[in-house]
Chains A and B, each alone.
Chain A
Amino acid sequence: AMDTDLSSQDRKDLDKFIKFFALKTVQVIVQARLGEKICTRSSSSPTGSDWFNLAIKDIPEVTHEAKKALAGQLPAVGRSMCVEISLKTSEGDSMELEIWCLEMNEKCDKEIKVSYTVYNRLSLLLKSLLAITRVTPAYRLSRKQGHEYVILYRIYFGEVQLSGLGEGFQTVRVGTVGTPVGTITLSCAYRINLAFMSTRQFERTPPIMGIIIDHFVDRPYPSSSPMHPCNYRAGEDNAAVYPSVEDSQEVCTTSFSTSPPSQCVFTVTKAHFQTPPPVVTDTLKVPVMGLAFSHQLSSSRLSYQPAALGVGSADMGYPVLFAGGLNAAHPHQLIGPGKEGGVPPIPSQPAHGTQADQERMCTPLDGVHYSAATPSSSEDTETVSNSSEGKCGSPHDLLETIFIRKVGAFVNKPINQVTMANLDIPFAMFAPKNVELEDNDPMVNPPDSPETESPLQGSLHSEGSSGSSTGNTHDDFVMIDFKPAFSKDDILPMDLGTFYREFQNPPQLSSLSIDIGAQSMAEDLDSLPEKLAVHEKNVKEFDAFVETLQ
């Protein structure tokens, strides 16, 4: 009965507007999490294909996914379109950051003009969405992704699931638009535990990581997942019938070009690293590094690449941007999991021209996991545990910054089985043949200082391997790492700003601490009378001395 108030043309228009509004909403959100700045041009002459008079590009794969999720339906009461944004570290831990919800409620505005007012308000709402997507915490995280983590998106349709956001999540409303069939609302629920988690801290502050680890949940297997799996298997029939609306967006001429891999240097930090580095097992969920597509979008360049996640992972999200991790010499070389510790390379994937669908077929739905060699710029960093040394009484010990030996960011094998051949480090042939376990690592357990009279003498006359900073006498060659101050991947991966801030707060001098100070003062006071007596006795000598000065 309600619908009869709306002319059939208006109804058709309204459905079309809502459908394309939903598609554009997804584009705006996903593009805002790609990690790059977006730029589109204004055009005074209408091209006829810019919905809502806004220049919002359409990434074909994103449209494809959105349409699949919607399956021909429109948001309605109880059927909301949700875009879930999550973060995934290279270790496979993931965490939901945001859920963007496009919902419809029953409150109708019968008087409103569909083709005019609703359309313009939807346009305004998209502008608000553009603005709001830059102010939630995930934006800054997404701008710095690529090294330690990636940002993934997942679209689902149905009931909104907010449980993955942790406690105390916040919501921000982007806006609402009343229509004759209901009120469209667009909002975002976002995890707030990240609010203080700037990427600076992500890189080097384990206590923050400690909190986050609580939230890292291994995704349950699909059968137990509460969420609708986003099934990206290629070739599956889209059973849904699309409305027969003229749809200029349906045509996607995709042209892909491979983009050179950007540097990806991965350092994992964990708060309390008591156990040896985790042996990576088959449950490692690692996005495929192999192919990075870039889709040319006027003056901006966005890279995106579907994720290929491990079997059993309900996380079928698509990485919004994942660059790097590729060996620069072999952009498409993938290294498969070692069976007996060997690392058989997998033949290169086709370089370009691959449709997104086809590319997804290479993903490991059959239990094989891919990992990739680190780029040539990676170096063999070592694991250091500050806390066990008790080097200084400074509060910085509490940081317990721990670094895992970075042999290969996504190598799917115990670290000590990786052969040097896979590492693109300078002077690799001179490096120790066996990558040492943490126990043997001189940086973790430094060798005892030589038993000499004076430290200085010891260092000058030591019989040990001179010039060896590692003290490892097994090797003929010693790899010397040149680590300029403040360089990345240094023993302490600090940038200059962080270093400056930390050293602006030096520890309290022990002599200034109350106990010692009080003690020495008591002693001083006690000895005063004695000293006075001595001075009085020698007063003549003092006077004579003073006269010589005058």
Chain B
Amino acid sequence: PCRTCCLAPSGAAPAMNCRAEVLEVSVEGRQVEEAMLAVLHTVLLHRSTGKFHYKKEGTYSIGTVGTQDVDCDFIDFAYVRVSSEELDRALRKAVGEFKDALRNSGSDGMGQISLEFYQKKKSRWPFSDECIPWELWTIKVNVVNLANEQERQICREKVGEKLCEKIINIVEVMNRHEYLPKMPTQSEVDNVFDTSLKDVQPYLYKISYQITDSLGTSVTTTMRRLIKDTLAL
């Protein structure tokens, strides 16, 4: 099932009717992971439901989503995430790869990580299913280097404050109650939700990232690729 792997062609614009939000943060190298996780988890908190249990006659009941507080070690900040170890692991994996790519790229530490929510649209043979994004979150990251402990302490606090602002921004977007996929029937549920996790059910999502070189153009060597269905033909 689609999870963190994805192919987003570099520079591809989001499809029509896909709303796009961009957040920017400047962090120190060791803060990258926590900052990314804070943002991604906050978005996914709003974009995950309990597991659906379909019953007769097309009705369904919804499981319960638990939440937990996470304290950051390198940032004066705390956030709430969904209580799901599987989801946390998936996000950590993606963010870890992003962080490594940032570090190894030799660029001056600029990159972006994207979280895209999409729906699958079944097509008839011989065409394969389309992935239609309906919401795209992009976090632009600028890694700074700090000279001494004093600066690091200030950075801890400043980044904490910045992340508070980002959370407020995310909540504002969520509150607009804009397009959300229709609640699916049992046969359609896998086109809308990721049903592979055992305790929660996020909307289908993909995470991708890009590292930008100092000229600001995207460098594609660090992107992870999956064979896109349509290219399999």
Contact = CB atoms under 8 A, between A and B. Distances in A.
Interface string A32-58: 000001111111111100100111000
A44 B80 contact: no
Contacts of A124: 46, 174-175, 177
Nearest to B175: A175
A132 B78 CA distance: 11
Given A44-B200, A53-B49, A174-B175, 9 more contacts: A37-B69, A42-B50, A43-B64, A53-B50, A124-B177, A134-B79, A173-B172, A175-B174, A504-B149
A246 to B, nearest CB: 17
B167 interface: yes
Given A134-B69, A504-B150, A198 B157 contact: yes
Given A39-B83, A40-B83, A42-B200, A55 B177 contact: no
The prevalent SS among residues of A at the interface is: mixed
Contact of A46 (B45, B62, B171, B177): B62
Interface string B2-23: 0000000000000000000000
A54 B83 contact: no
B155 interface: no
A396 interface: no
B141 interface: no
Contacts of A40: 66-68, 83
Interface of B: 42, 45-46, 49-51, 53, 61-69, 71, 76, 78-80, 82-84, 148-150, 153, 157, 163-164, 167-168, 170-172, 174-175, 177, 183, 198-200
B174 A46 contact: no
Nearest to A38: B69
Interface in A41-78: 41-47, 50, 53-55
B66 A43 contact: yes
A501 interface: yes
Given A44-B199, A46-B61, A501-B153, A134 B170 contact: no
A130 B167 contact: no
Interface residues of A, number: 41
Contacts of A462: none
A131 interface: yes
A201 B230 CA distance: 59
The prevalent SS among residues of B at the interface is: mixed
A40, A42, A55, A198 pick with most chain B CB within 10 angstroms: A42
Given A38-B68, A40-B68, A134 B80 contact: yes
B63 A127 contact: no
A282 B175 CA distance: 49
Interface in A146-174: 172-174
Contact of B68 (A37, A46, A132, A143): A37
B174 A37 contact: no
A50, A121, A127 pick with most chain B CB within 10 angstroms: A127
A503 B149 CA distance: 12
A46 B65 CA distance: 10
11 contacts: A39-B68, A39-B69, A44-B51, A54-B64, A127-B45, A128-B46, A128-B171, A130-B67, A134-B80, A135-B164, A198-B76
Contacts of B148: 504
A235 to B, nearest CB: 36
Interface in A197-219: 198
A174 B153 CA distance: 30
A128 B174 contact: yes
A175 B171 contact: yes
A418 B79 CA distance: 45
B118 to A, nearest CB: 20
A38 B64 CA distance: 16
Contacts of A139: 78
